[in-house]
């Protein structure tokens, strides 16, 4: 007859998953900090692992390529946009206000991580390829379809195409913002909302 396992013999599944999430977050944070301090290309897996206090192989297990840290960064922002859409007050807002809210949120994410701007400029081709490859966040097209149902936008416009136009405009503005170094330049949010105003004129019936 086998002995009954004691509580310390094996960690519960929930605890293991929590440890995995914590390890992944430590690696992600360590990588972004190093990218900001010394650049994307100059940062090695050994440095990331050391800063996160894990083995080098552990870093590879969670992020097999350095570009995967950038991909996680992109997906983190998309998830924050999805969370914004889930807020009841936001769901009840007019479609144009929703689109402005998305762009303001994206601008806010970048402002929060302003210390990464130099790194973003260097890794922009990598992050742009990922964002272009995955296409615009689905919330953009969802808001445009809402606007069409509510009569805010004309129905002759393809919501997916309009979402791409807005998202492409965001990426171009982001690229310029990441490379600018003059404090007098317009904020990213101001630029994005000005561009959205022009785009919305083409959507309004």
Are 45 and 133 in the same domain? no
Indicate whether 190 pLDDT > 90. Answer: yes
Q: What is the pLDDT of residues 32-73, one digit of tens each?
A: 888 878 878 889 999 999 999 999 999 999 999 988 888 888
Domain C-terminal end among 5, 34, 64:
64
The mean pLDDT value for 125-138 works out to: 59
Q: Is the pLDDT of residue 89 over 50?
A: yes
Average pLDDT over residues 189-196: 94
Q: What is the mean pLDDT of residues 169-193?
A: 81
Q: Which residue intervals of the chain are DSSP H helices?
A: 13-38, 45-52, 56-62, 67-86, 88-91, 95-112, 117-134, 138-149, 159-179, 188-203
The parent domain of residue 79 ranges over: 66-203
Query: Shortest CA distance to 153 belongs to which of 164, 170, 141?
Result: 141
Confidence at residue 204, expressed as pLDDT on a 0 to 100 scale: 85
Over the chain, what is the mean pLDDT?
A: 81
**6 in any annotated domain:** no
Same domain, 143 and 176: yes
> Does 2 reside within a domain?
no
**What is the domain-level CATH number for residue 36?**
1.10.10.60
Secondary structure letter of residue 10 according to DSSP: S
In a domain, 83, yes or no: yes
């Amino acid at each position: 007859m086998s002995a009954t396992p004691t509580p310390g013999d094996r960690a519960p599944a929930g605890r293991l998953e929590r440890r995995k999430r914590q390890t992944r977050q430590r690696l992600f944070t360590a990588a972004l900090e190093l990218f900001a301090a010394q650049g994307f290309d100059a940062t090695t897996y050994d440095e990331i692992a050391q800063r996160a206090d894990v083995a080098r192989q552990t870093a590879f297990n969670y992020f097999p390529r350095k570009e995967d840290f950038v991909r996680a960064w992109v997906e983190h922002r998309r998830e924050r946009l999805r969370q914004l859409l889930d807020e009841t007050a936001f769901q009840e807002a007019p479609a144009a206000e929703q689109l402005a809210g998305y762009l303001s949120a994206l601008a806010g994410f970048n402002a929060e991580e302003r210390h990464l701007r130099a790194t973003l400029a260097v890794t922009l081709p990598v992050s742009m390829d990922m964002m272009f490859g995955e296409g615009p966040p689905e919330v953009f097209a969802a808001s445009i379809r809402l606007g069409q149902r509510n009569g805010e936008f004309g129905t002759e416009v393809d919501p997916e195409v309009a979402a791409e136009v807005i998202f492409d405009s965001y990426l171009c503005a982001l690229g310029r913002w990441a490379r600018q170094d003059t404090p007098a330049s317009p904020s990213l949010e101001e630029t994005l909302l000005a561009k959205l105003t022009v785009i919305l004129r083409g959507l309004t019936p």
